[in-house]
């Protein structure tokens, strides 16, 4: 009798374990499916300068330069120059077309030892696009373009090792020049966005060598949604959290070497998994909206979108981790005149699959710098593959110094 009772208990436990195991096996692992996050005006996430481009697009905590305002406005407070100007040109999809590109100009002025002011402009031209009607006849030819004007950025050094910063920008996106799309008249999109950032930079001893350790963060493009017609839903712009760290070692009087890491996370909702019926058709609720099977409703306010972006992926914490992308970079300088750079960028295959190596070269001559970068894709075609990007920057403090030396 006792044996039969024990046997019954064992059978019950086995039965319960089998039920539990079956439910786990049947559960869908959404983190294994393609679920790319898309936003309006993605050009805001294109790194504009070739120094960062040669190091896998790291920039949150790299040493300050003329292009620092894009990556982390707080870095500009650590600039040694009184004024700095950078000009960049980036061909886009050059292996397919020759009329798509982005140009950038940035200017930074240090008001004193603690405060810096920066301004900038990025212009993205999408070339020429023909619109055709249902009969195939040409109806309109447009030249889509987008721009971002950095109206003002402030870097403020709160101590000798830490600076805070912010920037305000206006975003304009004209993709259709008013052409009718899907029976509705289109319009240009407009947004106002801000960046909030910080930078920690401290000299340390690395063995018997001098070095600088750095940490930085930038919450980019916090701004309103964009719509391209009166009837269409409004889309998030690419709000992004960037954090990074770095170590720059002075090997000797002529040689220095730096290594850097950036981690990025988009602060916009992840598309949910929608419920389907037995015919593989989406299930619609009483309001005409698709029913969500896993994840959260992405049609929320900007503040709610930022908050839920950390916990809304249908695949749970595993998919949230997949949404992080990583940039690694290294830089070698000889006599502060010649630089070699290399980097690697990784994005999960289900979240965009950007996976590439980069390399770069920097030259400093007299009053200006020239930087070049080149990208080698590892997993798929990339808009920048087989493309040489370049940036030219000017150090106005050096111009002033050279002029004074010539006068003397």
3-state secondary structure the chain: CHHHHHHHHHHHHHHHHHHHHHHHHHCCCHHHCCCCCCCCCHHHHCCCCHHHHCCCCCCCCCCCCCCHHHHCHHHHHHCCCCEEEEEEEEECCCCCCCCCEEEEEEEEEECCCCEEEEEEEEEEECCCEEEECCCCCEEEEECCEEEEEEEEEEEEECCCCEEEEEEEEEEEEECCCCCEECCEEECCEEEEEEEEEEEEEEEEEECCEEEEEEEEEEEEEEECCECCECCCCCECCCCEEEEEEEEEEECCCCEEEEEEEEEEEECCCCCCEECECCCCCECECCCCCECEEECCCCCCCHHHHHHHCCCCCCCCHHHHHHCCEEEEEEEEEECCCEEEEEEEEECCHHHCCCEEEEEEEEEEECCEEEEEEEEEECCCCCCCECCEEEEEEEEHHHHHHHHHHHHC
Instruction: Lowest mean pLDDT of 52-66, 143-157, 222-236, name the range.
Output: 222-236
Query: What total number of domains does the chain contain?
Result: 1
- In the predicted model, what is the mean pLDDT of the chain? 87
Residue 231 vs residues 31, 67, 183, 184, 290: alpha-carbon distances, Å: 33, 39, 10, 8, 18
pLDDT at position 106 is 95
Tell me how far apart the alpha carbons of residues 126 and 398 are, in angstroms, rounded to a whole number. Answer: 37
Tell me the sheet residues that pair with 180.
185
Residue 155 lies in a domain: yes
Q: How confident is the model at residue 96 (pLDDT cuts 50, 70, 90)?
A: confident
Residue 307 lies in a domain: no
Residue 345 lies in a domain: yes
Residue 389 lies in a domain: yes
Residue 311 lies in a domain: no
Tell me how far apart the alpha carbons of residues 275 and 285 are, in angstroms, rounded to a whole number. Answer: 10
Highest mean pLDDT among 25-39, 85-99, 197-211: 197-211
Q: How confident is the model at residue 149 (pLDDT cuts 50, 70, 90)?
A: very high
Q: How confident is the model at residue 340 (pLDDT cuts 50, 70, 90)?
A: very high
Q: φ and ψ at 78, to 5 degrees?
A: -95, 0
Residue 43 vs residues 145, 205, 288: alpha-carbon distances, Å: 10, 40, 33
Q: Domain containing 203: what range?
A: 42-266+324-407
Inter-residue contact 84 to 396 (CB < 8 Å)? yes
Q: How confident is the model at residue 397 (pLDDT cuts 50, 70, 90)?
A: low
Residue 88 lies in a domain: yes
pLDDT at position 348 is 95
Residue 8 has pLDDT above 50, yes or no: no
Tell me how far apart the alpha carbons of residues 43 and 56 are, in angstroms, rounded to a whole number. Answer: 17
Highest mean pLDDT among 79-83, 162-166, 399-403: 162-166
Tell me how far apart the alpha carbons of residues 204 and 200 are, in angstroms, rounded to a whole number. Answer: 12
CATH at residue 106: 2.40.160.60
Residue 280 has pLDDT above 60, yes or no: yes
Cβ partners under 8 Å of residue 277, min gap 6? 283
Cβ partners under 8 Å of residue 214, min gap 6? 61, 62, 63, 199, 200, 201, 202, 245, 246, 247, 248
Residue pointed to by tokens 């070049």: 372
Highest mean pLDDT among 207-211, 237-241, 288-292, 349-353: 237-241
Confidence (pTM) = 0.86
Q: How confident is the model at residue 347 (pLDDT cuts 50, 70, 90)?
A: very high
Tell me the sheet residues that pair with 166.
154, 196
Q: What percent of the chain has pLDDT over 90?
A: 65
Residue 303 lies in a domain: no
Cβ partners under 8 Å of residue 226, min gap 6? 40, 41, 171, 173, 189, 190, 191, 234, 235, 237
């Amino acid at each position: 009798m006792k044996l039969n009772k024990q046997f019954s208990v064992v059978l019950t436990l086995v039965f319960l374990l089998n039920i539990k195991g079956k439910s786990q096996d049947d559960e869908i692992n959404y983190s294994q499916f393609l679920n790319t996050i898309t936003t309006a005006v993605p050009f805001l996430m294109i790194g504009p300068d070739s120094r960062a481009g040669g190091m896998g697009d790291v920039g949150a905590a790299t040493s300050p330069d003329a292009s620092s305002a894009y990556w982390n406005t707080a870095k500009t407070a650590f600039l040694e120059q009184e004024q700095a100007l950078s000009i960049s040109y980036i061909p886009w999809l050059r292996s397919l077309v020759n009329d798509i590109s982005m140009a950038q100009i940035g200017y930074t002025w240090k008001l004193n030892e603690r405060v810096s002011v920066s301004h900038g402009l990025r212009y993205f031209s999408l070339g020429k696009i023909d619109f055709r009607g249902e009969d195939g006849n040409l109806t309109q030819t447009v030249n889509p373009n987008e721009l971002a004007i950095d109206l003002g950025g402030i870097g403020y050094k709160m101590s000798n090792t830490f600076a805070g910063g912010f920037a305000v920008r206006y975003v304009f996106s004209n993709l259709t020049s008013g052409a009718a799309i899907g029976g509705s008249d289109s319009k240009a999109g407009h947004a106002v966005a801000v960046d909030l950032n910080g930078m920690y930079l401290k000299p340390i001893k690395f063995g018997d060598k001098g070095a600088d350790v750095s940490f930085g963060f930038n919450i980019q493009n916090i701004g309103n949604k964009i719509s391209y017609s009166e009837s269409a839903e409004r889309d998030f712009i690419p709000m992004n959290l960037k954090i990074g760290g770095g170590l720059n070692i002075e090997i000797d009087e002529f040689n220095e070497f730096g290594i850097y890491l950036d981690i990025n996370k988009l602060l916009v909702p992840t598309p949910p998994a929608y419920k389907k019926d037995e015919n593989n058709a989406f299930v619609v609720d009483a309001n005409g909206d698709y029913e969500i099977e896993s994840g959260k409703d992405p049609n929320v306010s900007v503040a709610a979108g930022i908050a839920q972006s950390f916990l809304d992926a249908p695949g749970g914490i595993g998919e949230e981790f997949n949404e992080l992308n990583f940039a690694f970079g290294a830089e070698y300088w000889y006599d502060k005149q010649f630089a070699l750079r290399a980097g690697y960028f990784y994005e999960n295959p289900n979240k965009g699959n950007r996976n590439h190596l980069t390399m770069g070269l920097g030259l400093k001559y007299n009053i200006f710098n020239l930087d070049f970068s080149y990208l080698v894709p590892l997993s798929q075609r990339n808009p920048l593959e087989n493309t040489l990007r370049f940036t030219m920057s000017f150090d106005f403090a050096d111009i002033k110094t050279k002029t004074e030396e010539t006068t003397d």
